[in-house]
Amino acid sequence: MMTGRGCAACHGADGRGGVLRGPRRTLIEAPDIRYEALTRPAHGWTDADIARAIREGVDPEGERLDPAMPRWSMTDGEVGEVIGYLEELSAR
């Protein structure tokens, strides 16, 4: 399932984020998750922060992310692959 395909539903095939709209209101606004965007100085996430967001649904300050963002149970290897994939998206 992995290597980004499950993520693309919300974050877009290119990882730049996306908005899912319902008839009346915006349902989900998913941010840009390209590696470059997450690790840029203004955002400042580390690989460990990204892994935590994916697994535990919290940001680096420990604040819960919007429940629209699923929690994924992944091994270290799988998280590493997803991060590698996000890096590839940055390069495109």
Query: Which of 3, 6, 40, 71 is in the footprint of ligand HEC by CB under 6 A?
Result: 6
Which token pair is 80? 């590493």
CB 74 within 8 A of CB 55: yes
Least spacing, CB of residue 45 vs ligand HEC, in Å: 7
**Residue of the chain from 12, 16, 31, 88 that contacts ligand HEC (CB under 6 A):** 31
CB of 22 to ligand HEC, least distance (A): 13
Q: Which is nearer to ligand HEC, 10 or 23 (CB)?
A: 10
Residues 90/35, Cβ–Cβ less than 8 Å? yes
Positive or negative, the CA dihedral 1, 18, 54, 14 is positive
Query: Considering only residues 63-82, where is the footprint of ligand HEC by CB under 6 A?
Result: 65-66, 68-70, 72, 82
Within 10 angstroms of residue 14's Cβ, the number of other Cβ atoms is: 13
Pick the binder of ligand HEC from 12, 16, 28, 55 (CB under 6 A). 28
